Chains A and B, each alone.
Chain A
Amino acid sequence: MQREEAFPALWDAQPQRLLRIATLARNHAAARFAAGALRQGPPRPDAMDVAAIGGLLASPYPEVSALAATIARRLIDAGKADAALIAALLQAPAPDMRDLAIRAIDDRPDWPFADAALARAALTSPDEHVQGRTRGWLRDRAPSRDQRARATEAFAAWLAQLPAELDDTLRAGLAAALALLPQLWPDRDCPLQPEVIESLTGHASPDVQAASIQLIAVTPTRPDDLPTAFWQAILQADAPEIRIASMSLLARLDDAALAQHRDGIALAATGAHTGLRAAARPLVARLAATDEAFAIRLHDALMAGFFRTEPVEGHAADMVTLFVEALPQAAAAIDDGTLWRLLQARAAGARMLGAKLLESRDASRFSVRQLARLGNHSFATVRRFALHAFATDEPRFRADPQNAVLLVESEWDDVRTVAVNRLTAWPSNALPAAALAVMADSTVPAVQDGARLLLRRSLADGDVAEVLGRVLEHPSGSFHLFVTELITGDSLADAAIFAKFLTQARIILMQINRGRIAKDRIFTALRNEALAHRDRAAAIAQLLHDFTLSVTLRDKAPALIILRDIAHAWPDLTLPVTVARAGRTLPGGGSQTSGNAA
């Protein structure tokens, strides 16, 4: 490819200048030129490339990154990649560069810990994949104490040069390294010089100050020997990072010494900062295990707080975790009444605790009614508990059908669908009329469909009148039609049922512009009842008299015809209408049948 610059030979004679441009240029054209010239130019000493590789990798331009990748592969393949190069690759933004570094480290059993800078780069990588591999190397290639010491010194030196404000990448790298410190120094015998740590405690960045406290925690320094002023400073620091780090230092105190800080620890564990709550939690558990009075106070404070609105998001969940971890016996001892109160509470914390405690409870401790109510809980785990109980202990639900059907009241499809399917699969005699009525009362169409299916099945060997008595007051149009299927002479024999029927008949007949089939069936039933029973004919006549006013001919006509039939069937009955044969004059304005003129 043709070189674009005027004097390529001059550039080739001083490749370090091209490397400098490629590394430092923040003009794309310049960087592209330098990368192109370096590729096309003569070979360079490896040392020159190695020295520049870090900068090349950091370039934002793809041409320069590609050049760096080419150089890196060449050096690695030639066995000339040193720890500095690998460390630079490990810290590169491009994932394939980091993968290259990981492969190179995997190929060298003494890496990364044989080189302090490389070890530091691995420890402080913000990339999760590298962090994972580093944990593996730490586990599988146990570094010597000397190697660990040098790595820690390099880490401390790295901390010292960090800026006052850390960006997310640096913060992630710092957090990764600190998380590995306990693994690096399980015996807490880190030989890092106290002066080094002390200088870090005065760093401008609170993150670095916090890191210094965590370094103290892995040194042989006894926390008891630390001056009171130091403790006060770190426990009351404004920066939450420092207070979080102080928790790891507190963890090294013995129980008696720890107890002196219990109020501050409790405050941290229940305060507004998420990280502080998590850091203080294990300490609270230790305190509660050794101090009964503290445990009781903690229990009372947490329980009261569960029934209040959480002050910040996430607080309630942390308090539940704290309660369960710090007070396991108290959690197990919570009685069923309190558990129920927790589950039914409005506050999120109480509900969360209830749901958590429920995991270890036996469903047999709840009544069927309670389990049905749990089927409507807003927490999926609680609903699953209820459904599991329904699935595994069905005989108990069958023994209490009136409460079992309350499962269909759930607002949640996951419960309601299962409940309807299971209930409709029960034998027809398993659900009495009262239970079916509860199911029918649901305003959810799918549940109503299930109820009607069961009601129809139950009629075969059940009491139609009892079913009718329940569904006669249903306001839903779909049940109006269903009711008309059940109306027979026998089913209306009972006077109370008949009275309900008359009321429902009026409601059905006065539907505006709908329900024609139901209306026609109602008229038929009214006629049958009126002609069969004189005592009912009067009440029916009163009802039908109103419908002679209707402007809808299909309502008015049957009303008139039935009134006529009543008049013929019961001539001595006083009716609100006068019936006369067409063409005949009524004598004296009276009527052929007794009764008052309309």
Chain B
Amino acid sequence: MNFAYRFLGSTSASSDAASSSFAFAPDTLRQPTFFTGKVARHLAFREAISALHHVVVSDLRFKPRDRTAYFEWLKQNEANFLAEATAQSAALKPRIAELQDRIRGFDRERDRLMKPFWAARQSYFNYLYKQNRDAWIVLDPVITVHPDEIFFECFSLDESSYGRLSCDHDVFESLGEMAFGTTNIDYSHALYDEFQKIRSYRDTTLTIDPSGFEVQTGDDLDFREEKIDLPDSWVRGFLQVSSAMTLPAHVFDLHPVDMANILTRLAQRKEQAGPRSLRFVLKPDAPVEVVIEPWHDRLTFRRSIYRGKSPAEVRIWGRRRLAILGRALPLARSVQVHLTGTGLPSFFVVDFGGLRFTLGLSGWTANDWSSAGQFDLLAPRHRIDNDTAQRVFAALGKSHTATAAELAQHTGVDQALVHAALTAYTQAGRVMFDLDKSLYRLRELTREPLSPAQLRFASAQEEKADRLINANLVTIGNIDRNHGVRAINGSVLDNARTEQVNLVIDDDDRLVEARCSCHFYGHNKMMRGPCEHMLALRRIFHSQVEGVAQDGPAIA
């Protein structure tokens, strides 16, 4: 998906003995959004925004070793190896040895001559990596200025972590003029270094610079236009995690030291095999317990009591991403945890008092087919007509923030329908649900509205699976369970033909084996990922058998 931005100049940051200032350059193609204020909670702001930076640059995807050079060497020496293998005559061997010797001599000479070039090239690449680290940022964070707070949102490079830093206006002193709205900012790695220089004895000014909106003609060549091509998967991941904030969740508070204990245990050991989940054991009015697999290390948090009404056990994966919270915990008052369900996104809200940092983790780290088809977070959850939805959206637009109850009162629309409308807009990236304050906010993620229908499915197989499920053509047969591994048999009626499907899901909720009688599987096996029948059976299994709620009324 292509996005275009237009910045007047670049974001700048500077510090000296007396002050630090950060001036973010907003996207002038969007509705004017600006802000200026002097930070009053210096250290908390510094730690929180540093944690946000770590989300922006986070990439925990497996990076295989680069074997290009090895394969190149192999290709160049193939002829040698072939000659050696086939040489039968004793007379040929000395000739082969002589030629190989000459070749080695040429190679040495070539290496000697090329060495300065290779060294210079590597220095250049190192310089580029160091000086152009900003190229590694996929999408610059968005900033939203609202009547009660300003907040930054971002999504990580590996499409698995969401970050949000919200600052109430009383975190600032000397507030200047502001214009409400959402804009993209020109973010850079150099900003992180300047954030580290924030001190309580220095005035720290944060500005979202309005000057770009004041230039009438826009012909000034100081404007900088950027066009980026975002992968659909990245946008989809962002919307999925954001949509999950509207799901019902198990909510409880953890003491910051309790959260630090989880990180400490994870940092002390490295698992060689699965399962690799964190299992939260929740019992009403009892201390929260966390089991760290595969070691079954059980932590009991005596000062963190679960106040929910019904017990639950929720497993989450990709736990190493929680290390991002390490920077934020020391100055936190509490950590509120929102668990939407096993394998579904989870949210950790670190409260500093006036500032809140939210880390949202998707249900997976590697967005590959082993976790595909579990849930469809972008599936329409409720039916609502366009006119009603637009009325609700317009009402939210007037105040920028509101609870569902307030919007129901203003519009006269039933509260359940208000939820439904706002959920749909959340899935479209135009509204977000604020977990901290339990209300909805107008937040246009992109300048032009996204098309949820276009982004909903990662592949044609997912789309077909959705049609099969909606048509009730999926039947679960028998399920065998063995030490957390589930073998599921089922059938799917597709085009008047019944396809037999077998799935094996391991204890880390990964699809590790699958078979289907369809042509797609017969032709491709698993090289092109699971077929639509496998995906459909898996979704039905997770929702009907394992009972993970994927819709329902959002939290009020």
* Contact of B221 with A309 in the complex, beta carbons under 8 Å: yes
Interface residues of A in 439-458 (CB under 8 A from B): 441, 443
Cβ of A510 within 8 Å of any chain B Cβ, yes or no, is: yes
Which residues in chain B, 259-286, are within 8 Å of chain A measured between CB atoms?
Answer: 260-261, 263-265, 267-268
The chain B residue sitting closest to A437, CB to CB, is B17
Interface assignment of A435: CB less than 8 Å from any CB of chain B: yes
**What's the Cα separation between A402 and B196 when bound, in Å?**
19
Q: Does A52 reach chain B (CB closer than 8 Å)?
A: no
Closest Cβ of chain B: how far from A431's Cβ, in Å?
11
> How far is A500 from B268 in the complex, measured between Cα atoms in Å?
30
Distance to closest chain B CB from A475 (angstroms): 5
Could you mark each residue 508-551 of chain A with 1 if its beta carbon is under 8 Å from any beta carbon of chain B, else 0? 01111100000000000000000000000000000000110111
Residues of B within 8 A of A512 (CB): 260, 263-264, 267, 323, 326
Residues of B within 8 A of A307 (CB): 222
Tell me the minimal C-beta distance from B264 to chain A in angstroms: 5
**Docked-complex contact B264 and A549, CB < 8 angstroms:** no
Please tell me if the beta carbons of B16 and A438 are within 8 angstroms of each other in the complex: yes
B143 close to chain A: CB less than 8 A: no
A510 touches which one: B197, B256, B265, B267 (CB < 8 A)? B256
Asked if B337 is an interface residue, CB under 8 A from chain A, the answer is no
B255 within 8 A of A: yes
Complex CA distance for A309 and B220, rounded to whole angstroms: 9
A441 to B198, CA, bound (A): 9
Minimum CB distance partner of A444 in chain B: B193
Residues in chain B near residue A551, CB distance under 8 A: 261, 264-265, 299
Q: Contact at A443–B330, with CB atoms within 8 Å? A: no
Residue of B nearest to A372 (CB): B16
26 contacts between A and B (CB under 8 A): A307-B222, A308-B222, A346-B9, A435-B17, A437-B17, A438-B17, A443-B193, A500-B200, A506-B330, A506-B331, A507-B330, A510-B257, A510-B260, A512-B260, A512-B264, A512-B326, A513-B264, A513-B267, A546-B255, A546-B256, A547-B257, A549-B255, A549-B258, A549-B301, A550-B257, A551-B265
- Could you say which residues of chain B place their CB within 8 Å of the CB of A403? 16-17
Is B365's CB within 8 Å of the partner chain A?
no
Assembled-state Cα–Cα distance A480/B136 (Å): 30
B199: chain A residues within 8 A (beta carbon) = 437, 441, 470, 473
Known: A475-B47, A549-B255, A549-B258. 7 other contacts (CB 8 A): A309-B221, A347-B221, A369-B16, A438-B17, A473-B200, A551-B264, A552-B264
Q: Is B46 an interface residue (CB 8 A)?
A: yes
User: Closest 4 A-B residue pairs measured CB to CB?
Assistant: A510-B330, A308-B221, A507-B330, A549-B257
The answer for the CA separation of A473 and B199 in the assembled complex, in Å, is: 6
Interface residue? A406 (CB, 8 A): yes
A40 within 8 A of B: no
Point out the residues of chain B lying under 8 angstroms from A507, CB to CB.
Answer: 330-331
In the complex, B62 has a CB within 8 A of chain A: no
Q: Find chain B residues with CB under 8 A from A402 CB.
A: 16-17
Contacting pair A470 B267 (CB below 8 A): no
Provide the residues of chain A in CB contact with B326, threshold 8 Å.
511-512
Nearest residue (CB) in A for B193 is A443
CA distance A308 to B261 in the complex (A): 55
B410: Cβ under 8 A from any A Cβ: no
**Interfacial chain B residues near A409, Cβ < 8 Å:** 15
Q: Which residues of A contact B256 (CB under 8 A)?
A: 510, 546
CB distance from A349 to the nearest CB of B (A): 11
**CA of A347 to CA of B42 in the docked complex: distance in angstroms?**
34
By a CB distance below 8 angstroms, the chain A residues around B481 are none
Q: Are B222 and A406 in contact (CB under 8 A)?
A: no
Q: Name which residue of chain B comes closest to A440, CB basis.
A: B197
A549 and B16 contacting across the interface, CB-CB below 8 Å: no
Cβ-based interface call for A476 (8 A): yes
B329 contacts A by Cβ under 8 Å: yes
Looking at the assembled complex, report how far the CB atom of A560 sits from the nearest CB atom of chain B, in whole angstroms: 14
* Total number of B residues with any Cβ neighbor in A under 8 Å: 39
Give Cα A309–Cα B47 distance, bound, in whole angstroms: 38
Q: Are A475 and B46 in contact (CB under 8 A)?
A: yes
Whole-angstrom distance between the Cβ of B348 and the nearest chain A Cβ: 15
B43 touches A (CB below 8 Å): yes
CA distance A23 to B267 in the complex (A): 81
CB of A475 within 8 A of CB of B221, answer: no
* Residues of A close to B46: CB separation below 8 A: 475
Asked if A71 is at the interface of the complex by the 8 Å CB criterion, the answer is: no
B71 beta carbon closer than 8 Å to chain A: no
Most buried by B among A347, A403, A438: A438
Q: Given A441-B197, A469-B201, A513-B264, A347–B222 Cβ distance below 8 Å? A: yes
Which chain A positions have C-beta within 8 A of B268? 513
State A592–B526 Cα separation when bound (angstroms).
69
Question: Chain B: residues with CB nearer than 8 A to chain A?
Answer: 9-10, 15-17, 42-43, 46-47, 50, 193, 196-197, 199-201, 220-222, 255-258, 260-261, 263-265, 267-268, 299, 301-303, 323, 326, 329-331
Task: Scan A102-134; emit 1 where CB is below 8 A from any B CB, else 0.
Answer: 000000000000000000000000000000000
Contacting residues, chain B, for A309 (C-beta < 8 A): 221-222
CB B489 to nearest CB in A, in angstroms, measures: 43
- Asked if A159 lies at the interface with its beta carbon under 8 angstroms from chain B, I say no
Which residues of B have CB within 8 Å of A429?
none
Q: Are A443 and B196 in contact (CB under 8 A)?
A: yes
Report the bound CA distance from A139 to B255 in whole Å. 91
Indicate if the CB atoms of B15 and A441 lie closer than 8 Å. yes
With a cutoff of 8 Å between Cβ atoms, the chain B residues found around residue A169 in the complex are: none
Determine whether the beta carbon of A475 is less than 8 Å from that of B267: no
Closest A residue, CB atoms, query B323: A512
Is A488 in contact with chain B by the CB < 8 A criterion?
no
Which residues of B sit under 8 angstroms from A547, Cβ to Cβ? 257
The chain B residue with its CB closest to the CB of A546 is B257
Q: How far apart are the CA atoms of A402 and B202 in the complex, in Å?
A: 14
Q: Are A476 and B255 in contact (CB under 8 A)?
A: no
Please tell me if A434 contacts chain B, counting CB pairs below 8 Å. yes
Q: How far is the CA of A569 from the CA of B301 in the complex (A)?
A: 30
Give chain B nearest CB distance to A368 CB in angstroms: 12
Which residues of A are found within 8 Å of B267, using beta-carbon distances? 512-513
Q: Is A503 an interface residue (CB 8 A)?
A: yes
- In the complex, what residues of A have CB within 8 A of residue B255's CB? 546, 549
Would you give the 0/1 interface string for A341-354, flagging 1 where the beta carbon is closer than 8 Å to chain B?
A: 00000110000000
Q: How far is the CA of A476 from the CA of B50 in the complex (A)?
A: 12
Complex Cα–Cα for A416 and B46 (A): 25
Given A473-B43, A503-B43, A506-B330: A434 and B17 interface contact (C-beta under 8 Å): yes
Output the least CB separation between B469 and chain A (Å): 43
- Which residues of A have CB within 8 Å of B43? 473, 503
A506 to B326, CA, bound (A): 13
CA distance A153 to B43 in the complex (A): 84
Residues on A with beta carbons closer than 8 Å to the beta carbon of B47: 475
Bound complex: CA of A547 vs CA of B255, how far in Å?
11
Task: Judge whether B17 and A510 touch: CB under 8 Å.
Answer: no
Q: Which residues of B contact A473 (CB under 8 A)?
A: 42-43, 199-201
CB-CB under 8 A from A511, the residues of chain B are 326
CB contact list, A457-494 vs B, under 8 A = 469-470, 473, 475-476
CA distance A144 to B327 in the complex (A): 86
Give the distance to chain A from B271, nearest Cβ to Cβ, in Å.
16
B162 to chain A, nearest CB (A): 22
Measured CA separation A549–B331 after assembly (Å) = 16
Which A residue's beta carbon lies closest to that of B262?
A551
Of A509, A511, A549, which is in contact with the most chain B CB atoms at under 10 Å from its CB? A549
B330 CB contacts on chain A under 8 angstroms: 506-507, 509-510
Q: How far is the CA of A402 from the CA of B19 in the complex (A)?
A: 12
A406 x B16 contact (CB < 8 A): yes
Which chain A positions have C-beta within 8 A of B221? 308-309, 347
Determine the chain A residues whose CB is within 8 A of the CB of B50 once the complex forms: 475
- From B264, B265, B303, name the one whose CB has the most chain A CB atoms within 10 angstroms: B264
Chain B residues with Cβ under 8 A from A469's Cβ?
201
Q: How long is the Cα–Cα vector from A475 to B193 in the complex, in angstroms? A: 11
- A437–B18 CA distance with the chains assembled, in angstroms: 11
Chain B residues whose CB sits within 8 angstroms of the CB of A506 once the complex forms:
330-331
Closest B residue by C-beta to A550:
B257
